[in-house]
Amino acid sequence: MIRSRSIVKIDAVDQLFPDDLAPITWAVVDTGIDSRHPAFRNHSSDDPNASRVVLTIDIRKGLTAQGDPAETFQRLVGDESWTRFLLSAMDSGSQSPGQPRYGETSFGTVNPPGGPHDDHGTHVAGIIGADAIGVRQIDPLDNTAQLPERIRGMHPTVNLVDIKVFGDGGVTDEFSVIVALALIRWLNDGDRYQQISGARGRINGVNLSLSAPFDANKDACGWTPLCQEVDRLVKSGVVVVAAAGNAGWDARYRSSPGVGYRMVSITDPGNTESAITVGATDSTSPYRHGPIGLSSRGPTADGRHKPDLLAPGRQVVGPAPGGGWVIASGTSQAAAHVSGVASRLLARFPELIGQPERVKQILMSSASDLGRLPDFQGSGLVDALRAMQATWIRGGVP
């Protein structure tokens, strides 16, 4: 994100639209976030340990505590059952519910696969909202240079909700993600989120940097249970940003130039029409290179144009559990850029809060055309400055 901030013009937004007018919260449904990383410190607080990760929820822990997972979702229909589930999902030993689990290391495997101590969720969250001051580490892309002393994500003041859906063995399932999305809707009903987290507002958006296959013999494309839950969340007023998937390239053809690229390779939940589906482009020369090889391409299996946007996703520097910084590539990182831009847009123009369809339209109509086919680039490269300017000039009307 050090190099990609200028590519999406968020650095220009810092100069022309410096002030947030509303507090914004973004949920990261992923492998977990190291809330003690300096990237997530709340610099507006006098407490040196204050984190902008305001709530941590472990979905699989909550499901396990409820008994038979196959029956759990049917039981999560009322306030009492959701409350019991949430208390189990937030149980972190000596920590009280609602407090970040400082120092916890995240595990999980999200596309692309990581190691046994996967830093995926922390990395994604950092792209969205890091603000680290006093960084002292060698640049992982250049072992002769230091990283900048200050590293910022797309929206450095955003609050984050850590919703962990991956188990310690790097395993999850569609059901766990569905429960996570349903939980967000429940938290946003009334003032539950404020009561539980202690933060203002509601959960305004969610980042889904994960990839799920679907059975074409069982469900229509875009109508799987996961996609339908995304639709319900969007209709409730939450922006949903989804990775397109990393299935655009078949590694078996590594030595065969010109073959091995896959069309119709968008994965769930990116197949959902209401989601902002994001493919990955180069982090330094997007106009020259267009989408990177692994980025999934449309159309969807039922003939709709996807992805909706592109964002930087190649060799992006971001935080890792334990306080360090690493590089990672993929549509996961690209989706995080768009989540950060979307949250920044809501913070500056709070009249857009609760209107995810308008947010999607603004981001797509203001994107920079890279000159590629719609099923490769969507509307083009996300452009934070143009989105801000268009909203300011037109009063939020795209």
The span from the CA of 231 to the CA of 249, in Å, is 28
The residue among 120, 131, 168, 180 whose CA lies nearest residue 330 is 120
The span from the CA of 341 to the CA of 200, in Å, is 20
Enumerate the H helices of the chain as residue ranges.
4-7, 10-16, 59-66, 69-75, 79-89, 120-129, 174-188, 192-197, 225-235, 286-289, 331-348, 356-365, 374-377, 384-394
Distances (CA, A) of 320 to 72, 97, 143, 371: 33, 24, 17, 35
Catalytic residue, from 37, 118, 120, 366: name it. 120
Catalytic residue, from 209, 283, 295, 332: name it. 332
Q: Phi/psi at 252 (nearest 5 deg)? A: -65, -20
Distances (CA, A) of 341 to 26, 76, 334, 336, 367: 11, 33, 11, 9, 12
Active site residue 106: no
Q: What is the CA radius of gyration of the chain?
A: 19
Active site residue 332: yes
**Hey, what are 253's tokens?**
């053809």
The residue among 148, 89, 157, 154 whose CA lies nearest residue 124 is 154
Active site residue 120: yes
Q: Phi/psi at 37 (nearest 5 deg)? A: -60, 140
Give residue for tokens 């990261």: 28
DSSP code of 327?
A: E
Task: Please identify every residue annotated as catalytic.
Answer: 30, 120, 332
